[in-house]
Structure 1
Amino acid sequence: MPALALGVLLLAGAPAFAADTATIYDVTQEGLSAADAQKLADTYGIPNSIAENGAFTYTGKAFGQVPQKQVGDPHKEESGRLVTPQALDIPALQALKTLDDRSALKRAAALPALAGLDGDFKAAPSVSHSELTTANNDGKTTGAYALDTSVSYDMTLGGLPATGQGAKLRVTFAGDGSVTQLSTATRRLASGKQAIIISSDEAAKACSALYGANVRQATPTLGYVLPPLGAVKQIFPSYTCNPVGGDGPQANRVVAAVEGASPTATFKASLRESSVEAAADVSGGTAPYSYKWASSTTVLEQNTDASLSYIRSPRDGKLTGEGLTLEVTDANGLTATATGIFEGDGVISATSTPGGGGFGKLAIGPTDVGIEQTVDEWQCAQDSAIGFKAVMAAHGVGTAFDWRGMNAWERDFKKASLGGTDSTYADNVDAMWYTGHGNSGGFTFKNETHDDRWIVPSDADWGNGDLEWLQLESCQVLRDTNGSHDYFSRWGGTINGLHMLNGFHTNAQCVGGGTGGRFATYLFAGFTVRNAWAQMAFDKEPGGTVFRSMGNIGAGGVTNINDHFWGQGSVGPDILKSSRIGMWAIAQTV
């Protein structure tokens, strides 16, 4: 007979690959020890770059560098900030040599063992190259240059796919075989009890509860999603949802495969004349619990307690409804999500469904950023906005606006000639962060009362105001749909003084803790804007994710490829469409 332990059905002596059981793994060590990290550093001839949580993140100055040459004197742009024109060094690009795949695999072969992978925890390598592609003004490719050679690892645990922020292993080599980037985030694991798991049909039903009514579910993938390194005691099997439909590709969220493993949450809330109060009750899973609340109309500055109170502040005063979402995470990284909807004043209650997760002045002149986040019911998306804003604030950079959920409007990104207000919002800040659904044709907004909910390329004309760097945490917006680099012809017309557009070729995953804070942190750690986007993806996105940065090429080959955030290093000049001679893009693989 199966035994019931802490609400989880366990089987003694069950076969390891029985269709209805899977292993629960016990954590024996979180990340690398100090000795492990030193051995790793010595092996690859790099500085010891261990973090407090045992992760190892090294990025050398040579990583991702594109050969450029200064072609003019530094001068001040219109707001008084210093810019330095740098142009592509084509002869140096043509002479660039990369490490061959076989040598890279041989050099990387020791990495899994050095990172502590053994027993059921296995890794399979794959090779990729960062590639710079150039195009003319019509979007026709004019050149392609491999910049380096990377080896990434796809991991399995007990024969099932293992993904997540705790399953990271990647190394990048320069042409001479030296390491320019290396990151590990793994833990040592021991095989524990066998547990009865829910069927894929039951998992699909659980997944459906995490998405909108117009999103279908393909068969969920059974595996292990390893949370960020911390104080996790056990790793439970889980199903990754495979949603289809809706407004473009959807993020892959996660539900526990073992019934009773996740926490269960309920909350009661009241709305009285714009005042909202709520309190949660949580049981099951493994204590202690962490709480994250989110509102459809209001940025919640204090959202991590079991109770909550705030004054509702919709951007559109006519909006009477209010959505309130709670995501609870237990000590093992398992989550549950509860959502309640107010139609008006009153009292509501909500019960969870299992699953979820899956800023002194530094520059001359005013520097600010903006945020628009359209998936307010997903805490992982809220975390991106929260993190980006917090890091910017910590470095003295203000957030001019922070619109989330129903407060985020399409017109904020749309050019004035089409009735948009980008000159007040998206194109009136230095850096812009967007999180939401998208596809190769554009990105979306939830509010249907302010235009048609979609920003498509013909809507936009970015950079003729203040905007330098636009980050789109959205699926496939910068996808090469046909192998001809057609993102140039789709999005090239939107780049009119914008220094850089950062996005994804593949899906962008909704990951616990979000990605915005990590990106912003790297902006103030000596990284170029492009490399901050890259290192964020290496840290947060699952293996196989392909991300892309793109921008204009001006007269004489001038680009913004090596831009830093204001006050953190060199920045190139604005390059308008009227003066550009082509475009560039760089794609990399996690």
Structure 2
Amino acid sequence: MSTTKRAATWLALTGLIGAASLSSTVTAAAAAELPVYEVRGSGLSTEQAAALQRAFGLKDLQRDDTGAVAFADESTYLKVPGLDQGAGRADEDGLETQQTALDVEAIKQLRAITTDDATKRAVETLRGAGLLPTNAFAAARHTTLELVDVNGRPFHTAPIDTAVSFAFNLDGIPLEGPGAKLRIAFDGQGAVSGLTHSTRDLAKVGTIPVLDLTQGRERCAKQFGGAAKVTDVSYVYDAPALSERITKLEPSLRCAGVTPDGSAAQSLTVPAAVDGSLPDPGPQQPPRTESALSPQWTTRIDVGSEGTGACSGLPWTHLNIGAFNGQFSSRGIPVQFSWLNHNALERDFKDPVFPGGWDHLYADDVDMTYWQGHGSPTGFSFSGCSASTDSFLSNNDARWGNRDVEWMSLFTCSILQQTSGGLNWAQRWGKAFRGLHQINSFDTVSMHSAVHGGRFGNYLLRTPFLWWNKPMKVRDAWAQASIDTQPPSVVWATMGPIGNAWIANFNDYFWTKGVVGPDTLPTVGYWRLSGTS
């Protein structure tokens, strides 16, 4: 029996969470009406936040003006043991670097509490504080660090923490989104290393007519617009961030699909109401012109972004990319390029060693590139949007970091899936590391988001205030942005190379926000950190 199933069974048997909540989906083929919920309260009060802090014995707890609560222990949150190895060679931009080696012996000694123990602690503590939602279902999983050799053969896997993520439902229908988040991570000694709490109090106030799932499939197909084939439709309540001060929740449809090139479609939501309308796809960029195709590489810190939106059936890409861009431009960091829809080209990510490759002008000409669109374990898709040089960026066409890029951040599906086609994540993507420090992406299908990019950028760049709000490491910022915006079923992941003497870039911050390692080739192997949202 899996650890997740054991934890669920334990909860049902003890009555801490009702057995009815173990079923989180509606399986009926049709529904005439579904409930509407009114927002009666949002977030935790000051008193509730204080009670939560006392219950878990936390030294501090951050509560924002929406009532969302967060905690991360700097000394233990997603900590990977490392050894300072002194100054490294300067970056190609002339920036100083600091070498850090994986402390292999310390990693071998890492231990974690069991998933059953973590689940019990989380549930009982929340219940004792009067803060256990009645519509929550807990499941636990270890966050893991994997080390493999240069050929992708496993060397060691260690637990980093044990995270308990709560899934929510409303009368059997999943409630998902940034406004339905409760996650608690325990370190190896059982102390809380990270906590996220962002929920609303909801009350049923009536019903509305909705499409049945057959009709819902038609609406999903219209949203995808031929860019993806619908494979599954289900009901869901979409919970936006608490900062969107909504007054009610209506049911939506979760649309899953696959693109013509076999990539998993990023799952998205559309209204389920009979009179509902599809999301506004936003403005279109004017066409790219040849005058834009010139190298911009200088000794500056900069970023770039690309994404497929309306042309691939994804309505919020322009908002997500815009939020990412805004975090950098508002702090004076240039956004060298930002191509959307038909302007997003496969060749921008392809190395010039391959015919038509332009990554030296774009994806590999900045310090960080952020991408949003459909993807798969072997690449990401431009299908329905562009085909220059083709409509799929294959892992075999990626050679990143031999010019400039340190961090390739791919908000797409399944890039770092554990295994696919008989090859693991390192065997598929290892050859892309030609000076690249990290690929940040997902092990599973990801859910379309309008806010992930902004959260990621803020965690990278934020300004400290007293003892909190400090910038996060790149891989921690990716993990936390994913935890904030994705349901518990989504597994985020980051991988990087291991060089001579176990030098690795696992503790990189963005430039000027903390230490950054030197460009490192994978002469020893690769590392991957992954965990549940």
Spell out, residue by residue over 1:128-160, the C-alpha distance to the aligned partner (whole angstroms, 9 max, x if none).
111111111111111111111110111111122
Match of 1:255 in 2: 270
Separation (CA, whole Å) in 2 of partners of 1:115 and 1:501: 40
CA distance in 2, matches of 1:500, 1:144: 19
Alignment partner, residue 68 of structure 1: 82
How far off its partner does 1:576 sit?
A: 2.3
2:401 corresponds to which residue? Answer: 463
Report the secondary structure of 1:190's partner residue.
strand
Does structure 1 residue 415 correspond to structure 2 residue 389? Answer: no
Matched, 1:22 2:3: no
Tell me by how many angstroms 1:372 deviates: 1.3
Partner amino acid, structure 1, of 2:223: L
Task: Compute the displacement of 1:406 (Å).
Answer: 1.3
The verdict on how the C-alpha distance between 1:445 and 1:219 changes in structure 2, with shifts beyond 3 A counting, is: closer
Q: Deviations over 1:161-198 (max 9, x none)?
A: 22122111100011111111100111011122133332
Separation in structure 2 between the aligned mates of residue 409 and residue 398 of structure 1, nearest angstrom: 21
Q: Does 1:159 align with 2:206?
A: no
178 and 58 in structure 1: CA distance in 2 versus 1, 3 angstrom threshold? same
Aligned to 2:525: 582
Structure 1 residues 195, 125: closer, same or farther in 2, change over 3 A? same
Measured at CA, do residues 528 and 424 of structure 1 come closer, stay the same or move farther in structure 2, by a change above 3 Å?
same
Cα deviation per residue 1:53-89 (whole Å; 9 max; x = unaligned)?
2111222212111000012335533432111111111
| Pair 1:504 & 2:442 matched | yes
1:48-447 mapped onto 2 (5 Å cutoff): 48-61=61-74, 62-73=76-87, 76-110=90-124, 118=133, 121-213=134-226, 215-229=228-242, 230-247=244-261, 248-260=263-275, 262=276, 293-295=282-284, 298=285, 312-315=286-289, 365-377=299-311, 378-419=314-355, 420-446=357-383, 447=385
- Decide whether the 8 Å contact of 1:237 with 1:257 is kept in 2: yes
CA contact (8 A) 1:200 1:219 kept: no
Q: Report the CA distance between 1:588 and its aligned residue.
A: 0.9
Please say if residues 346 and 387 of structure 2, whose CA atoms lie closer than 8 Å, have aligned partners that are also in contact.
no
Aligned equivalents of 1:467, 1:514: Cα separation in 2: 23
Q: Secondary structure at the match of 2:224?
A: coil
Structure 1 contact 74–82 (Cα < 8 Å) conserved? yes
Q: Which residue matches 2:57? A: 45
Kept after mapping to 1: 8 A contact 2:500/2:524: yes
Q: Based on CA coordinates, which of the two structures has the bigger radius of gyration?
A: 1
2:400 touches 2:433 (CA, 8 Å); kept in 1? yes
- Match of 1:201, SS state, is helix
Q: Structure 2: which amino acid aligns with 1:238?
A: S
Q: What SS does structure 2 have at the residue aligned with 1:450?
A: coil
Q: In terms of mean alpha carbon deviation, does 245-254 or 488-497 score higher? A: 245-254
Deviation of 1:109 (Å):
0.6
Q: CA deviation at 1:482?
A: 5.0
- What SS is found at the alignment partner of 1:72? strand
Q: CA deviation at 1:240?
A: 1.2
Give the residue type in structure 2 aligned to 1:243: G
Percent of aligned positions with the same letter in both sequences?
31
Partners of 1:131 and 1:147 within 8 A in 2: yes
Query: What amino acid maps onto 2:477 in structure 1?
Result: A
- Contact kept, 8 Å, 1:315 with 1:407, in 2: the verdict is no
What secondary structure does 2:108 align onto?
A: helix
Task: Find the residue that maps to 1:148 and give its secondary structure.
Answer: strand
Task: For 2:492 and 2:421, locate their aligned partners in 1 and report how far apart those are by CA, in whole Å.
Answer: 15
Classify 1:510/1:219 alpha carbon distance in 2 versus 1 (closer, same or farther; 3 Å).
closer
Q: 1:491 aligns with which of 406, 429, 439?
A: 429
CA contact (8 A) 2:88 2:517 kept: no
Letter in 2 for 1:108: A
Is 554-563 or 49-58 further displaced after alignment?
49-58
Distance in structure 1 (CA, Å) of the matches to 2:307 and 2:65: 30
Rate the CA distance shift 1:570–1:115 in 2: closer, same or farther, 3 A: farther
Q: How far 1:568 moved relative to its partner?
A: 0.6
Q: Which runs of 5+ in 2 are unaligned?
A: 1-27, 293-297, 463-470
1:470-485 → structure 2 map (5 Å cutoff): 470-482=408-420
Q: Matched residues in 1 for 2:362 and 2:324: separation?
A: 17
Paired residues of 2:101 and 2:502 also in contact (CA < 8 A): yes
After superposition, give the CA deviation of every residue in 1:186-224 in whole Å (9 maximum; x if it has no partner).
101112213333211111111111013263334421232
1:115 and 1:417, CA in 2 relative to 1: closer, same or farther beyond 3 A?
farther
Distance 1:214 1:426 in 2: 24
The Cα offsets for residues 448-506 of structure 1, whole Å up to 9 and x where unpaired, read as 45211211122121111111000011111111235977111110001111000111111
Amino acid at match of 2:334: G
1:568: which partner in 2?
513
Specify which of 48, 58, 63 is matched with residue 36 of structure 1: 48
Q: Are 1:115 and 1:184, in contact at CA under 8 Å, matched by a contact in 2?
A: no
Call closer, same or farther: CA 1:403–1:483 in 2, change over 3 Å.
closer
Q: 1:499 to 1:427 in 2, by over 3 A?
A: same
Partner residue, 1:537: 482
1 or 2, which has the higher helix percentage? 2
What amino acid maps onto 2:174 in structure 1? P
**Cα distance, 1:520 vs structure 2:** 0.6
- Look up the equivalent residue of 2:272 and give its one-letter code: A
CA distance in 1, matches of 2:330, 2:381: 30
Give, in angstroms, the shift of residue 38 of structure 1.
Answer: 1.4
Paired residues of 1:116 and 1:188 also in contact (CA < 8 A): no
Per the alignment, residue 554 of structure 1 pairs with: 499
Instruction: Decide whether aligned partners of structure 1 residues 84 and 485 sit closer, same or farther in structure 2, where only a CA change above 3 A counts.
Output: farther
Question: How many Å apart are 1:373 and its aligned residue?
Answer: 1.2
Q: Structure 1 residues 219, 406: closer, same or farther in 2, change over 3 A?
A: closer
Cα separation, 1, equivalents of 2:512 and 2:411: 24
For 1:336-376, what per-residue CA distance to the aligned partner results, in whole angstroms no more than 9, with x for missing partners?
xxxxxxxxxxxxxxxxxxxxxxxxxxxx9510011111224
Distance 1:56 1:404, change over 3 A: same
Over the aligned positions, Cα root-mean-square deviation in angstroms equals: 2.4
CA–CA separation in structure 2 for the residues paired with 1:193 and 1:207: 25
Structure 1: gaps spanning 5 or more residues: 1-16, 266-290, 299-311, 319-363
Structure 1 residues 98 and 528: alpha-carbon distance in aligned structure 2, compared to 1, 3 A threshold: same
The change in CA–CA distance for 1:392 and 1:50 in structure 2 (over 3 A counts) is same
1:112, CA displacement in angstroms? Answer: 5.6
Q: Deviations over 1:265-289 (max 9, x none)?
A: 9xxxxxxxxxxxxxxxxxxxxxxxx
Corresponding residue SS for 1:418: coil
Segment of structure 1 superposing worse, 527-536 or 480-489: 480-489
- The structure carrying a bigger strand percent of its residues is 1
Counterpart residue number, 2:14:
none
Q: Is the CA contact 1:381–1:514 (under 8 Å) kept in the aligned structure 2?
A: no
